Amino acid sequence: MSQRLSSTLVDAFMQFCQGNFAYRLPRTYARDDADTEAFFFNSVAAELERIVMDARRQEERLREVTERLSAALLRVAAGDLDVRLERDGKGDAVDVLLYLVNNTIAELAHLVRERERAAALEMERLNQLVEARTAQLRELAVTDALTGAMNRRRLFEVAEAMHAESERYGRPFGLAMLDLDRFKRINDEFGHAVGDRALELVADVIRGQVRATDKLGRYGGEELTVLFPETRLEAAYEAVERIRKSVERAGLVHGGRRVKITLSAGVVEYAPGEPLLALIDRADAALFRAKSAGRNRVERG
């Protein structure tokens, strides 16, 4: 028989739901049920607070880097080719982006200084190089480095555009939230490198199952989002069900052991007048039902 959660624990989780991630239960260290409950809740709370704070710091970092990039590119456009962007040396996608920007600006400076008296044909070639580099930088700025999917910022931009088009012209629009099942266990049992490979594999499977017009984005962590323009609920559901089955068949092998990979998903269709965030919330709710019903399944929202 299942046991009810204590009112203290329920109140603590309500604090989480209200955004108070720093909330902790007091400890008595009496080693009774209440103290054990407080210990486990506080451990989970500390990890969740860390994840939230890391996400906020990353979001702030991306915002700050975007502002610096914009300012630097404006200076370059005005003819200042001596501008350089300070790097933090973390070696992640943002740091690589800054490295490429600095290299691009340096290359431009070299070309301008070496060929400032060049003919119109050479100037045209230089313009083409700038355009190509700029396109590359734009692509890096909106792409998730691990999965190759759209990053969260770009995902919302594309989703908002599709939503606006559906709202304006009355066209169908499907959205699916997909989440790897027991992803933490994969990381704990096989290591984070295998967890990364699992995410890459799932992203590749999704790309192989959807149309060129469908868009894949990384919503956060092990959660992915697929946008289905011009698609009704049942068609989107069938597409995601094919993805689920393909992921289940794929799997990974690590150290002679098979790494079982499954996913759960929630699929919804835009309802006229429905805000985008409400649509995403419905998809999240359907995903939660899929998880609650045993995982490795797709639920309609």
Residue 165: how many CB atoms within 10 A of its CB?
14
Residues 24, 15: Cα–Cα separation, whole Å = 9
* Strands in the chain per DSSP E: 173-180, 215-220, 223-229, 252-254, 257-259, 263-269, 298-300
User: Measured in Å, how far apart are the chain's first and last C-alpha atoms?
Assistant: 30
Neighbours of 132 (CB within 10 A): 11
CA distance 196 to 258: 15
Q: Which two tokens stand for residue 63?
A: 């915002």
> What distance in Å separates the CA atoms of residue 183 and residue 222, rounded to the nearest whole number?
7
- Token pair, residue 267, equals 């699929």
> What φ, ψ does residue 57 adopt, rounded to 5°?
-65, -40
Select which of 222, 223, 269, 299 is catalytic: 222
- What are the structure tokens assigned to 77, written together? 């456009």
CB neighbours of 31 closer than 8 A, spacing ≥ 6? Answer: none
Residues 283-299, buried b or exposed e (16+ Cβ, 10 A)? bbebbbebbeeeebbbb
Whether 222 is catalytic is yes
> Of 246, 271, 88, 261, whose CA–CA distance to 172 is shortest?
271
Catalytic positions are 222
